[in-house]
Amino acid sequence: MENRNLEFKDKVVIVTGAASGIGKAIAILFHQMGAKVIAEDYNDDVKDLGKDYENIVPFVGDVTLEETAINVVAFAIEKFGQLDILINNAGRIINKLTVDTTLEEWNMVMNTNTTGAFLHSREALKVMISNKTGSIVNIGSYACFYTFPTIAAYASSKGALAQLTRTMAVESIEHNIRVNAVGVGDVITNLINEHNPDGRKFLADHGKRAPIKRAAQPEEIAEVVAFLASDRASFMVGSIVMADGGMSVIIQ
């Protein structure tokens, strides 16, 4: 994996939610492909990436705060003099019926999954528009379009993220900036561990419902993200690329 094509050589990338799971896999892959990566997370564990990988710089911050978005983009410019790619990956989920969901829980999910992406995209776009180039990739879900009980907040946040992706795409393409998203299925991460101590096992088992009969590894999603961020996806604008093992096909 270390001898990857250096497709992103000298590109500067911000990845949110990079301490673990999909975000960590994305940060490492972009590093392997030559990029200079700012790995953002509220968890101090993100600092370990800076120890293990020369061109990954950790940034500790709360993705839901406006000041974090402003500061991380400013940090990219101060540190590297540019910003080429933004990956909005940070995510939260809560598994509760709508009637049992508190406003605090609703806001936690919406602020992380949707508002955080909006804030970081807004600040990144200010730089990208000035430079007349850039790419933003949002991490969505098959819950952008399909749902089931106990994910009201999560499905709403991902549906909103899909529409944010499309709107930013049509606003930004005139500046040579592409905005797309990946609709992921079940991925074996710690996403639901906060509410389910056997979260990784649950995701692995739930993934067996997909036609592919398994959940994804984070590295598989990272490959799709890298493609969308690259010039190989030059004609993709406002696309929601489903990387869900076929889950969205069987639940239509």
Just list the catalytic residues.
154
The amino acid that residue 10 corresponds to is D
Coil, strand or helix at 212: coil
d(CA 80, CA 185): 34
Coil, strand or helix at 236: coil
CB-based contact 237:173 (threshold 8 Å): yes
Q: Length of the chain in residues, anyone?
A: 252
CB-based contact 50:121 (threshold 8 Å): no
d(CA 7, CA 85): 13
